[in-house]
Amino acid sequence: MTFEVITIFPEFFASVLEHGLLKRALAGGRVSIRLRDLRDFSDDRHRTVDDRPFGGGPGMVFKPEPVFRAVREVRSGDSPVVLLSPQGRLLNQAVAERLAQHAQLTLICGRYEGVDERVARHCATDEISIGDYVLSGGELPAAVVMECVTRLIPGVLGNEESSQQESFAPPASSNGAGVLDCPHYTRPAEFEGLRVPEILLSGNHEEIRRWRRRQALEKTWRMRPDLLTGAALDDQDRRVLEEVQQMERLGD
Ligand code: SAM
């Protein structure tokens, strides 16, 4: 996977690329990341990339020419061109999985009031938001997209299984699809009077597996009930959820 990142702040990514998963993936040759300074695609000697909005209003807007020029130069074939924008479709694991299928991804980072709308309509293939809030620039969102896509690339995570067991894992995964991950605990078994659930210390793998599934379902019901609509649930899962809901009704 090659990420082409179009930004006016290439140096913004230094720390992100020098730590953790992205650093490892880069060192292992699983991904390459090319930081493209949008100003290099400006055609005036002041390297201008923005201008005032037509119709008035505050702030500046990225002009279309440098962005179109940059995309035309870096994009290969019909690979996805993602405009990071709070107005885009929300990023989720399914979107990350779709993007991870490609060999190249171009990411356009906006700034100021945003990017000339012709980029969204005629240059980008996808407009993606990382959440319903507004940030000052598309660099953090681009880093988020790169990280969640990279961890889906085979060989990047140490244990091949681990992305399959996490929250939002796909239908064929061992997590049983669409529910949140179970809670995790580590040593010490007791901390300031707070004990780890005894079952996890029992060594009974089947009981632990059932307990984890129950916890995952319960947490999904409490935090993200919307996910359960699309989740792959078996009869046992449904029984657990009925119990959880009944206990909640009794608690009310
Ligand atoms: N005027 C825009 C609006 O209200 O929709 C906001 C522009 S924002 C201040 C500047 C840039 O930050 C955007 O062009 C985009 O690239 C990026 N950005 C801000 N919030 C974002 C989000 N939630 N997801 C993705 N990109 C975001």
Structural domains of the chain, with CATH:
2-150 (3.40.1280.10), 167-251 (1.10.1270.20)
Query: What is the CA(83)–ligand 1 centre distance, in A?
Result: 10
Ligand 1 binding pocket mutation candidate from 134, 136, 140 (most atoms within 8 A of CB): 134
Q: What is the mean pLDDT of residues 62-85?
A: 98
Ligand 1 atom closest to residue 83's alpha carbon, by position in its atom list: 16
> Does residue 174 surpass a pLDDT of 80?
no
- What integer pLDDT is reported at residue 178 of this predicted model? 82
Say which range, 80-89, 125-134, 172-181, 230-239, has the weakest mean pLDDT. 172-181
Does the pLDDT of residue 4 top 80, yes or no? yes
Q: Which residue has the tokens 């009704």?
A: 249
**What stretches of 75-213 adopt beta strand conformation (E)?**
81-90, 104-108, 126-129, 190-191, 194-195
CA-CA distances (angstroms) from residue 152 to 25, 133, 156, 158, 168? 11, 25, 7, 12, 12
Q: Is the pLDDT of residue 152 over 70?
A: yes
pTM of model > 0.85: yes
Mean pLDDT of the chain, nearest integer: 94
Give the residues surrounding ligand 1 with Cβ less than 6 Å away. 84-87, 109-111, 113-115, 129-131, 133-138, 141
pLDDT of residue 188: 98
